[in-house]
Structure 1
Amino acid sequence: MSKPQWTGVGVRKTFFEFFEKRGHTIVPSSSVVPHNDPTLLFTNAGMNQFKPIFLGTVASSDDMSKLKRAVDSQKCIRAGGKHNDLDDVGKDSYHHTFFEMLGNWSFGDYFKKEAIEWSWELLTKVYGLDPERLYVTYFEGNPAMDLEPDLEAKELWRSVGVPEDHILPGNMKDNFWEMGDQGPCGPCSEVHYDKVGGRNAAHLVNQDDPLVVEIWNNVFIQYNREQDKSLKSLPAKHIDTGMGFERLVSALQDKTSNYATDIFTPLFDKIQEVTGARPYTDKYGKDDEDGIDTAYRVIADHIRLLTFSISDGAVPNNEGRGYVVRRVLRRGSRYARKYFDAEIGSFFSKILPALVEQMGEQFPEIVKKQQEVKEILDEEEEAFARTLDRGERQFEKYAAQALKTGTKKLSGADVWRLYDTFGFPEDLTKLMAEERGLETDEEEIAIAREKAREASKAVKESVQTFAKLNVHQIAELKDTLQLPLPNDEPKFFKGDTTGKVQLIYTGTGFAKSTKDLPPNTPFGLLLDKTNFYAEQGGQVADTGKILIDDVAEFEVQDVQQSGGYIVHNGYLKYGELNVGDEVICEYDELRRQPIRNNHTGTHILNHSLREVLGDEIYQKGSLVDQDKLRFDFSHKSAIATPELKKIEHLSNEYIRQNCKIYSKDVELDMARKINGVRAVFGETYPNPVRVVSVGIDVDMLLETPENPEWRKVSVEFCGGTHVDQTGIIKDLVIVEESGIAKGIRRIVAYTGEAAHSVQRQAEEFSRRISTIEALPFGPEKEAEVKQATMDLNNLIISTITKEELKARFTKVVKSVVDEQKKRQKAESKIALDAVTGHFAKDENKDAKFFIGHLPISANTKAVADVMNHFKSKDKERTVYVFGGSKTEGAVIHGVYVGTGLSSQGVTAEQWAAAVTEVVGGKSGGKEPTRQGQGTNADKIEEAVAVAEKWLAEKLKI
Structure 2
Amino acid sequence: MKSQEVRSKFLSFFEEKKHGIVPSAPMVLKDDPTLMFVNAGMVPFKEYFLGNGKPKNNRLADSQKCLRVSGKHNDLEEVGYDTYHHTLFEMLGNWSFGDYFKKEAIAWAWELLTEVFGIDKDILYVTVFEGSDDSDNLKMDTEAYDIWKQYISEDRILKGNKKDNFWEMGDQGPCGPCSEIHVDIRSAEEKAKVSGKDLVNEDHPQVVEIWNLVFMQYNRKANGVLEALPNKHIDTGMGFERLCMVLQGVQSNYDTDVFTPLIREIETITSKTYGKNEEVDIAIRVISDHVRAVAFSIADGQLPSNTGAGYVIRRILRRAVRYGFTFLDKKEPFLYRLVDVLSTQMGKAFPEIKAQKQLIENVIKEEEQSFLRTLDQGLVLLNRIVDETKGDTVSGEKAFELYDTYGFPIDLSALILSEKGLKLDEKGFNEHLQKQKERSRAASEMSTDDWTILVEDAEEEFIGYDSLQANVKLTRYRKVTSKKDGDMYQLVFNLTPFYPEGGGQVGDKGYLEDAHGDVVYILDTKKENNVIIHFTKNLPSHVNETFKAVVDAKQRYKTECNHTATHLLHQALREVLGNHVEQKGSAVHSKYLRFDFSHFSKLTTEELQEVENFVNRRIEGKLPLQEKRNIPIDEAIAEGAMSLFGEKYGDTVRAIRFGKSIELCGGTHVKNTADIWHFKIVSEGAVASGIRRIEAITNDAVKDFYFENNKAYFEMKDLLNNAKEPVKALQNLQDENTSLKKQIEGLLKDKAKNIKSELKGELEAINGIQFLAKKLDLDAGGLKDVAFDLGSQFDDLFLLFATEQNGKALLSCYISKELVASKGLNAGQVVRELGRYIQGGGGGQPFFATAGGKNPSGIDEALSNAKKYLV
Give the TM-score normalised by the residue count of structure 2: 0.51
* Distance (Å, rounded) in 1 between the aligned partners of 2:9 and 2:383: 51
| Amino acid in structure 1 at the alignment position of 2:181 | V
The corresponding residue for 1:770 is 653
* Distance (Å, rounded) in 1 between the aligned partners of 2:20 and 2:346: 21
Matched, 1:35 2:50: no
| Amino acid in structure 1 at the alignment position of 2:338 | I
SS of the aligned residue for 1:138 comes to strand
Matched, 1:18 2:18: no
- Which stretch shows the higher mean deviation, 382-391 or 395-404? 395-404
Matched, 1:221 2:212: no
Q: Does the 8 A contact of 2:568 with 2:615 survive in 1? A: no
| Amino acid in structure 2 at the alignment position of 1:220 | F
Q: Say if 1:765 and 1:27 are closer, same or farther in 2 by CA, change over 3 A.
A: closer
Q: Say if 1:437 and 1:11 are closer, same or farther in 2 by CA, change over 3 A.
A: farther
* Aligned partner of 2:281 among 293, 304, 313: 293
SS of the aligned residue for 1:46 comes to coil
* Distance (Å, rounded) in 2 between the aligned partners of 1:142 and 1:359: 43
Deviations for 1:441-482, whole angstroms, at most 9, x for unmatched residues? 333235589999xxxxxxxxxxxxxxxxxxxxxxxxxxxxxx
The corresponding residue for 1:690 is none
Larger relative contact order, structure 1 or 2 (CA cutoff 8 Å, min sep 6): 2
* Distance (Å, rounded) in 2 between the aligned partners of 1:39 and 1:104: 23
* Distance (Å, rounded) in 2 between the aligned partners of 1:763 and 1:340: 33
* Aligned partner of 1:391 among 356, 366, 378: 378
| Amino acid in structure 2 at the alignment position of 1:157 | W
Deviations for 1:868-899, whole angstroms, at most 9, x for unmatched residues? xxxxxxxxxxxxxxxxxxxxxxxxxxxxxxxx
The corresponding residue for 1:378 is 365
Q: Shift of residue 736 of structure 1?
A: 9.2
Q: Does the 8 A contact of 1:29 with 1:72 survive in 2? A: yes
The corresponding residue for 1:679 is none
Q: Shift of residue 715 of structure 1?
A: 6.5
SS of the aligned residue for 2:95 comes to strand
Q: Does the 8 A contact of 1:98 with 1:301 survive in 2? A: yes
Q: Does the 8 A contact of 1:224 with 1:231 survive in 2? A: yes
Q: Does the 8 A contact of 2:210 with 2:242 survive in 1? A: yes
Q: Within 5 A, what are the aligned runs for 1:37-186?
A: 37-58=32-53, 65-144=55-134, 145-160=136-151, 162-186=152-176
* Distance (Å, rounded) in 1 between the aligned partners of 2:289 and 2:79: 8
Q: Shift of residue 765 of structure 1?
A: 10
| Amino acid in structure 2 at the alignment position of 1:238 | H
The corresponding residue for 1:318 is 306
* Distance (Å, rounded) in 1 between the aligned partners of 2:567 and 2:133: 67
Q: Say if 1:763 and 1:338 are closer, same or farther in 2 by CA, change over 3 A.
A: closer
SS of the aligned residue for 1:66 comes to coil
Matched, 1:332 2:327: no
Deviations for 1:741-785, whole angstroms, at most 9, x for unmatched residues? xxxxxxxxxxxxxxxxxx989996996993799xxxxxxxxxxxx
| Amino acid in structure 2 at the alignment position of 1:153 | A
* Aligned partner of 1:276 among 271, 275, 300: 271
Q: Does the 8 A contact of 2:399 with 2:410 survive in 1? A: no
| Amino acid in structure 1 at the alignment position of 2:118 | G
Q: Does the 8 A contact of 1:89 with 1:97 survive in 2? A: yes
* Aligned partner of 1:307 among 287, 291, 295: 295
| Amino acid in structure 2 at the alignment position of 1:331 | R
* Aligned partner of 1:414 among 399, 417, 420: 399
* Distance (Å, rounded) in 1 between the aligned partners of 2:366 and 2:601: 22
Aligned length: 497
* Distance (Å, rounded) in 2 between the aligned partners of 1:641 and 1:33: 23
* Distance (Å, rounded) in 1 between the aligned partners of 2:183 and 2:92: 16
* Distance (Å, rounded) in 2 between the aligned partners of 1:451 and 1:187: 35
Q: Shift of residue 343 of structure 1?
A: 4.0
The corresponding residue for 1:249 is 244
Q: Within 5 A, what are the aligned runs for 1:811-890?
A: none
The corresponding residue for 2:200 is 205
Q: Within 5 A, what are the aligned runs for 1:662-681?
A: none
| Amino acid in structure 1 at the alignment position of 2:65 | K
| Amino acid in structure 2 at the alignment position of 1:271 | I
Question: Structure 2 stretches of 5 or more lacking a match?
Answer: 441-560, 582-599, 618-641, 657-665, 680-871
Q: Does the 8 A contact of 2:241 with 2:258 survive in 1? A: yes
Q: Shift of residue 127 of structure 1?
A: 1.1
Q: Does the 8 A contact of 1:138 with 1:168 survive in 2? A: yes
Q: Say if 1:650 and 1:136 are closer, same or farther in 2 by CA, change over 3 A.
A: closer
| Amino acid in structure 1 at the alignment position of 2:431 | E
The corresponding residue for 2:574 is 652
Q: Does the 8 A contact of 2:565 with 2:615 survive in 1? A: no
Deviations for 1:480-502, whole angstroms, at most 9, x for unmatched residues? xxxxxxxxxxxxxxxxxxxxxxx
Question: Structure 1 stretches of 5 or more lacking a match?
Answer: 1-5, 453-638, 660-693, 697-712, 717-725, 739-758, 774-787, 803-957
Q: Does the 8 A contact of 2:385 with 2:398 survive in 1? A: no
SS of the aligned residue for 1:308 comes to helix
Q: Shift of residue 400 of structure 1?
A: 9.8
* Distance (Å, rounded) in 2 between the aligned partners of 1:176 and 1:378: 43
| Amino acid in structure 1 at the alignment position of 2:236 | T
Q: Does the 8 A contact of 2:414 with 2:423 survive in 1? A: no
Q: Shift of residue 120 of structure 1?
A: 1.1
The corresponding residue for 1:9 is 4
Deviations for 1:130-181, whole angstroms, at most 9, x for unmatched residues? 2111111000011332211001111111111x12211111111100111222
SS of the aligned residue for 2:283 comes to helix
* Distance (Å, rounded) in 2 between the aligned partners of 1:793 and 1:140: 59
Q: Does the 8 A contact of 2:94 with 2:237 survive in 1? A: yes
Q: Does the 8 A contact of 1:100 with 1:244 survive in 2? A: yes
* Distance (Å, rounded) in 1 between the aligned partners of 2:262 and 2:296: 15
| Amino acid in structure 1 at the alignment position of 2:298 | I
Deviations for 1:891-947, whole angstroms, at most 9, x for unmatched residues? xxxxxxxxxxxxxxxxxxxxxxxxxxxxxxxxxxxxxxxxxxxxxxxxxxxxxxxxx
The corresponding residue for 1:193 is 183
| Amino acid in structure 2 at the alignment position of 1:390 | Q
Give the TM-score normalised by the residue count of structure 1: 0.47
* Distance (Å, rounded) in 2 between the aligned partners of 1:427 and 1:793: 55
Q: Say if 1:265 and 1:763 are closer, same or farther in 2 by CA, change over 3 A.
A: closer
SS of the aligned residue for 2:7 comes to helix
SS of the aligned residue for 1:57 comes to coil
The corresponding residue for 1:886 is none
Q: CA RMSD in A?
A: 4.4
* Distance (Å, rounded) in 1 between the aligned partners of 2:395 and 2:147: 55
Q: Within 5 A, what are the aligned runs for 1:573-612?
A: none
Q: Does the 8 A contact of 2:131 with 2:141 survive in 1? A: yes
Percentage identity across paired residues of the two chains: 45
The corresponding residue for 1:240 is 235
| Amino acid in structure 1 at the alignment position of 2:56 | K
| Amino acid in structure 2 at the alignment position of 1:414 | A
* Distance (Å, rounded) in 2 between the aligned partners of 1:143 and 1:108: 28
Q: Say if 1:354 and 1:313 are closer, same or farther in 2 by CA, change over 3 A.
A: same
The corresponding residue for 2:355 is 368
Q: Shift of residue 362 of structure 1?
A: 0.3
* Distance (Å, rounded) in 1 between the aligned partners of 2:396 and 2:378: 16
Q: Shift of residue 12 of structure 1?
A: 0.8
Deviations for 1:17-73, whole angstroms, at most 9, x for unmatched residues? 111111111111101101121211211000000100000001x5xxxx222111111
* Distance (Å, rounded) in 2 between the aligned partners of 1:648 and 1:196: 56
* Distance (Å, rounded) in 2 between the aligned partners of 1:103 and 1:434: 47
Q: Does the 8 A contact of 2:24 with 2:62 survive in 1? A: yes
Bigger radius of gyration: 1
| Amino acid in structure 2 at the alignment position of 1:381 | E
* Distance (Å, rounded) in 1 between the aligned partners of 2:148 and 2:102: 10
Q: Does the 8 A contact of 2:19 with 2:60 survive in 1? A: yes
